[in-house]
Structure 1
């Protein structure tokens, strides 16, 4: 798994573990380097020194015990010019190197028969420490008494360092890493409580509540610049929305007067096909202006929680729009067997139902059957026998200015306005298919009330 796909918790865990390994290695390397510079990386026990002597001891052609000049022995001589030792074989032959203290000259014979021992004669270090060991060499068994404290080779230094790391640093690093793995999730969760709360608040922001901003309470100082930047972006978006709304409202208001004047002049023209087309075009302009005003009003309206009789509302709207249906040779019927009461804003609901019926007349085609159906507990359905709306387009048709037919007569705002009215009444607009294969618009109100 790449680091970019890890959660923040695992990023911190791996970062802390890597930091521990790096710091531990640097500290260990620093101690070794300091000890090396001060000459303290030495063979305190004398074990390495005796091993070098063991590999160098041999008998010459005459049977005398001699020391071969091996590379390790030469390194030992060069590293510690004062280094000394005594070696004595089973026949009593001895070989010496360096300035052997008189006291140790006879001690090598006294210790004969002992496998190995460390010698520390004086606590005040007036006599050097030494190591006695009986070893097997090319010259047979030999007793070796050597001075301790000679410098270690680089190979043995690294070997000893590795053992120290393996037995001391590694277990501590492992336990610490385990503690980090177990503790980091709780630490991260506690440290990011403010961020989580801010994210939850952001999830609940409604696009229509443009004054809402992300809270700064309990947000870490490192995250505050991001939260402030997001809030400033909200402010800029809000300003843009306000300018857009003012433009739409002003444009709609300015269009109403010339459209009304145009319609008056058109009514005075002789009846012919051109007049019909011009009247339809002016009606479309008038509808567009009214829908723009409705859209602007809906963004600021607070629905009046007053009782609304949906049965009476459906019958009244159907009666008002019946002439338009007749003009398009459509049949319009209302199926409202009983009274249904809801709480809401009657003018907004009337505009929503009017848009639904006009949409059915527009897209159902000439001669289609349109039915307004009232369903319990608080639902209005408008069904038509037209071609219907493809399933792939059902979510997009509620977007503003979206039209199924690019050159159709509608402006693409009707269903969007209906969806906005549904939202104001804690409801929703769903689009489906009618029994005849046409479109079915279902306006549900007061959901969850």
Structure 2
């Protein structure tokens, strides 16, 4: 696609050139119609003047130029007399009527249209300065074409036309530049209005009051697209929330029926599967709540939340033969601002993932520091090929899992202005860190947005 500013500049330049040529043609035509005989006189005199070669004191020659040949071809009654001091050259003497003065003529310089002595016709008298003396030209019966008149007009007024063209071109160039800047700034203003719309609130729209008239159709189209996107997102969120709520009832009934299973091994397996499904449903509900409501932040003690989450997972860790422990790296109370339920959900997802997916892990440790909490395991680690966290992706492509939890954690941390950082070394374990804004400001060089960094 070409640049709008470039297209506008080229279009204005072409239009300006056409307007200038039309304007010049109109001026030539008005000059010719207002004083037709004077225009013919000046054109014929200019042709004859260019063809005249003067050798002072010796010879006066009229060269057979294209203009002279065309003038003679178009003027069957053409006659002219050219004199310079005592030198004279004449053409069509038999056609020349009696003149009202004797030759050689000695008068002021300029162009005049005079009557012949018998008052039956007119002729052109042109006196121009040529060297130390004047060149006198008398022309009659000349038929000059429009092209010759235009050429003569341009040559006579070449300097004035050049100055006018420069002024006109400067005006057009300035107008094109200002127009291009106006278009660019108008588009930039609409772009800023579009970028100001929060991604989490696409129901917002571009204010048409601040949009130029020419860009209003584009702004209306963008507003319509934003509205359709918002409607689609709302439908998807509503479906997700309804599906999660509908799944809770059959899961509760299923959990009650599992109690009647008499075979211990089968009962343990069914309980584990139901727990995973319940975790998935809870994660879906957390995501729906987080996307549909703005969070209200309050001080949250990470130490208290972490101890509660580890206590909740202690039975599961004991069944899996994994040791759960809590370590506080820095002194003081690790307090952050956020929603306690959401932070608890995010931390529970990380601990649950470590217990379920950290294959070969014997120990899971929660490390507390100012503004962050990390869950570390000594399991098999995550494959370096997994570079992004996607819903339902567990970090192990060879296995089918319930990876929606990490996507939920990302959403929760994004809502809190924090980051989810995952570092992993195959064979040595994985560390997942919830870093809240307080820690991000303290260490701006370290960042993460859910990407997996293999170490």
- State the TM-score, normalized to the length of structure 2: 0.76
* Partners of 1:66 and 1:174 in 2: CA distance: 38
Mark the CA change 1:194 to 1:93 in structure 2 (over 3 Å): closer, same or farther.
closer
- 1:379 alignment counterpart: 372
- 1:342 alignment counterpart: 336
Q: Please give the secondary structure, in 1, of the residue aligned with 2:126.
A: strand
How much does 1:171 deviate? 4.1
Contact 1:379 / 1:443 at 8 angstroms: preserved in 2?
A: yes
Q: Please give the secondary structure, in 1, of the residue aligned with 2:286.
A: helix
Matched, 1:212 2:200: no
- 1:422 alignment counterpart: 413
* Partners of 1:66 and 1:180 in 2: CA distance: 47
Give me the CA root mean square deviation. 4.2
- 1:393 alignment counterpart: 386
Q: 2:320 aligns with which of 328, 334, 340?
A: 328
How much does 1:210 deviate? 3.0
Mark the CA change 1:191 to 1:164 in structure 2 (over 3 Å): closer, same or farther.
farther
**5 Å matches for 1:302-317?**
302-317=294-309
Q: 2:393 aligns with which of 393, 399, 402?
A: 402
* Partners of 2:414 and 2:65 in 1: CA distance: 94
Matched, 1:131 2:126: yes
Mark the CA change 1:167 to 1:403 in structure 2 (over 3 Å): closer, same or farther.
farther
Q: 1:50 aligns with which of 34, 48, 51?
A: 48
Q: 1:367 aligns with which of 361, 370, 375?
A: 361
- 1:444 alignment counterpart: 435
| CA deviation map 1:295-343 (0-9, x unaligned) | 1111234434332111111111111112222333323221125321222
Q: Please give the secondary structure, in 1, of the residue aligned with 2:392.
A: coil
* Partners of 1:248 and 1:93 in 2: CA distance: 106
Q: 2:215 aligns with which of 219, 223, 227?
A: 223
Contact 1:46 / 1:131 at 8 angstroms: preserved in 2?
A: no
Q: 1:102 aligns with which of 81, 95, 98?
A: 98
Moved more, 175-184 or 424-433: 175-184
Matched, 1:80 2:75: yes
How much does 1:288 deviate? 1.7
How much does 1:120 deviate? 3.2
Moved more, 253-262 or 406-415: 406-415
- State the TM-score, normalized to the length of structure 1: 0.77
* Partners of 2:168 and 2:428 in 1: CA distance: 69
Contact 1:434 / 1:440 at 8 angstroms: preserved in 2?
A: no
How much does 1:349 deviate? 0.8
| CA deviation map 1:134-164 (0-9, x unaligned) | 99xxxxxxx9743168344677557547657
- 1:431 alignment counterpart: 422
Moved more, 312-321 or 399-408: 399-408
Q: Please give the secondary structure, in 2, of the residue aligned with 1:358.
A: helix
Moved more, 286-295 or 385-394: 385-394
Contact 1:380 / 1:442 at 8 angstroms: preserved in 2?
A: yes
Contact 2:193 / 2:206 at 8 angstroms: preserved in 1?
A: yes
Mark the CA change 1:144 to 1:440 in structure 2 (over 3 Å): closer, same or farther.
same
